[in-house]
Amino acid sequence: MRDLNKVMLIGNMTRDPEIRTIPSGQSVASFSVATNRSWNDNAGELQKAVEYTDIVAWGKLAEIAGQILKKGRRVYIEGRLQTRNWEGQDNVKRYKTEVIASDLIVLDKPQGISINGNNAAPATELPDNNTTNTPELVTQTVAANSVPTPIAGQTAEEIDIEDIPF
């Protein structure tokens, strides 16, 4: 049986993405997303907690994230967990677990934007006649042999936030 390393988050951007270019010329975006959870404790009292998750996006997805993501924006992030380790200046081994993003959708606009990090780029223009609150998939295929993706004007299947079990 194969293993699975997949993360799906819906939350709010805690800061604007930090974009940098590594020596190979590839772009990297780093940002953080806050997710809220609530539960009833043993006494029946409602408890709330916030989890802050560091996100890293690479390549074209990093460039696009730098253009469209801003602090406070509500986003859906999909990716995988990865833990890095290094030795600090104090000779102590440090660890950091991050989500390596493969897809993102901006959720807080009437016309959401979906970006697939593997084979898509943003459309140059968004139609302004969409009145639904369903995030709209706005992608273009950039690889000739990639799987076709929805383009502007095609809406994503609506996901009711209440249907998500967490």
In a domain, 11, yes or no: yes
Q: Over the stretch 68-108, which tens digit does the pLDDT of each residue have?
A: 999 999 999 999 999 999 999 999 999 999 999 999 999 98
How far is Cα of residue 17 from the mean position of the Cα atoms in its chain?
Answer: 11
The domain that holds 105 is classified in CATH as 2.40.50.140
In which domain, by residue range, is 144 found? 7-156
> Which residues, at least 6 apart from 32, have a Cβ–Cβ distance to it below 8 Å?
13, 14, 15, 52, 53, 54, 55
Position 109 scores a pLDDT of 66
Q: What is the reported pTM?
A: 0.66
In a domain, 164, yes or no: no
In a domain, 115, yes or no: yes
In a domain, 24, yes or no: yes
Q: Over the stretch 48-75, which tens digit does the pLDDT of each residue have?
A: 999 999 999 999 999 999 999 999 999 9
In a domain, 123, yes or no: yes
d(CA 80, CA 66) in angstroms, rounded, equals: 20
Q: Cβ–Cβ contacts within 10 Å for residue 106, how many?
A: 21
Give the side-chain half-sphere CA count within 13 A for 154: 10
Number of domains in the chain: 1
d(CA 39, CA 11) in angstroms, rounded, equals: 17
Q: Residues of the chain with pLDDT > 90: what percent?
A: 64
In a domain, 60, yes or no: yes
In a domain, 1, yes or no: no
In a domain, 165, yes or no: no
**Residue 123 confidence (pLDDT) above 60:** no
